[in-house]
Amino acid sequence: MEPYVLVHGAWHTGAEMEAVAAHLRKKGYLVHCPTVAGNNRGDDRAKIGLEDAIGSIVSYIEGNDLRNVRLIGHSYGGMVISGVADRLTDRIRRLVYVNAFVPLDGQCLNDMAPPHYVSLFDTMAAANNNAVMLPFEIWREAFINDADLDLAKSAYAKLNPHPNNTFTDKITLKRPLAELSVSKSYVNCRQDISLPHSLPWHPRLSERLGLFRLVECDGSHEMFFSNPARLAQAIEEAARD
Tens-digit pLDDT profile for residues 109-119: 999 999 999 99
- Per-residue confidence (pLDDT) for residue 187, from 0 to 100: 99
Torsions phi, psi of 65, nearest 5?
A: 50, 50
**40 DSSP assignment:** S
- Per-residue confidence (pLDDT) for residue 198, from 0 to 100: 96
- Per-residue confidence (pLDDT) for residue 2, from 0 to 100: 87
pLDDT averages per 10-residue partition of the chain, 241 residues: 95 98 97 98 97 98 98 99 98 99 98 97 97 98 98 98 98 98 98 97 98 98 98 98 96
- Per-residue confidence (pLDDT) for residue 12, from 0 to 100: 98
**For a pLDDT cut of 90, what percent of the chain falls above it?**
99
Nearest Cα neighbor of 96 from 163, 177, 37, 18 is: 177
Q: What is the C-alpha R_g of the chain?
A: 16
**139 DSSP assignment:** I
**Model confidence pLDDT, tens digit, residues 147-162:** 999 999 999 999 999 9
- Per-residue confidence (pLDDT) for residue 1, from 0 to 100: 80
d(CA 54, CA 50): 6
- Per-residue confidence (pLDDT) for residue 88, from 0 to 100: 98
**160 DSSP assignment:** -
- Per-residue confidence (pLDDT) for residue 10, from 0 to 100: 98
